[in-house]
A and B are shown apart, each in its own frame.
Chain A
Amino acid sequence: MNSDTKNIKKLIIDQSLELDCGKTIKDFPLAYETYGTLNKNKSNAILAFHALTGDQFVTNINPITKREGWWTFAVGPGKAIDTNKYFVICANVLGGCMGSFGPKEINPETNKIFGTSFPVITIKDIVKAQKFLIDHLGIKKLLSVIGGSMGGMQVLQFVSLYPEASLSAIPIACSASHSAQNIALNELGRQAIMADPNWKREDATPNKGLAVARMAAHITYLSKQGLQEKFGRKLQDKGSLKFSFDADFQIESYLRYQGSAFVDRFDANSYLYITRAMDYFDLEKQFNGNLSLAFKETKSKFCVISFSSDWLYPTSENKEIVIALNACGANVGFVEINSDKGHDSFLLNVPEFLKTLSEFINSTYSEMRNEKRI
Chain B
Amino acid sequence: MKKEFEVIAKIIQSDKRVLDIGCGDGTLMEYLKKNQRNDVRGLEPKKDLVQKCISKGLSVIEGDAEKELIQFPKKSFDYVVLSQTLQAFIYPEEVLNQLLRIGRQTIVSIPNFGYWKVRLHLLLRGTMPVTKNLPNEWYNTPNLHMCTIQDFVNFCNKKNIKIDKSMCLTKEKISEITKGNMKYKNIFSELGIFLIQ
On A, residues with C-beta under 8 Å from B are 301-303, 319, 322-323, 326-327, 329, 331-338, 352, 355-356, 359-360, 363-364, 366-367
Contact = CB atoms under 8 A, between A and B. Distances in A.
A326 B68 CA distance: 10
A327 B55 contact: no
B177 to A, nearest CB: 34
Nearest to B63: A334
Given A326-B71, A359-B54, A333 B59 contact: yes
A335 B55 contact: no
A333 B58 contact: yes
Interface of B: 41, 47, 50-51, 53-63, 71-73, 76
A334 B73 contact: no
Contacts of A331: 41, 59
26 contacts: A301-B59, A322-B71, A326-B72, A332-B41, A332-B59, A332-B61, A333-B50, A333-B54, A333-B59, A333-B60, A333-B61, A334-B62, A335-B50, A335-B51, A335-B54, A337-B47, A338-B47, A352-B51, A356-B55, A359-B51, A359-B54, A360-B54, A360-B55, A363-B56, A366-B57, A367-B57
B157 to A, nearest CB: 32
B77 to A, nearest CB: 9
Contacts, number: 61
Given A327-B73, A335-B47, A367-B57, 15 more contacts: A303-B54, A319-B63, A327-B71, A327-B72, A329-B76, A332-B59, A333-B50, A333-B58, A334-B60, A334-B61, A335-B62, A352-B51, A356-B54, A359-B54, A363-B54
Given A301-B59, A322-B61, A326-B61, A333 B71 contact: no
A176 B160 CA distance: 41
Given A329-B73, A329-B76, A363 B47 contact: no
Nearest to A363: B57
Nearest to A292: B73
B164 to A, nearest CB: 24
Contacts of B41: 331-332
B79 to A, nearest CB: 15
Among A322, A334, A356, A363, the one with the most B-chain Cβ atoms within 10 Å of its Cβ is: A334
A137 B60 CA distance: 33
Contacts of A352: 51
Nearest to B61: A334
Nearest to A331: B59
B57 A364 contact: yes
A6 to B, nearest CB: 43
A352 B54 CA distance: 12
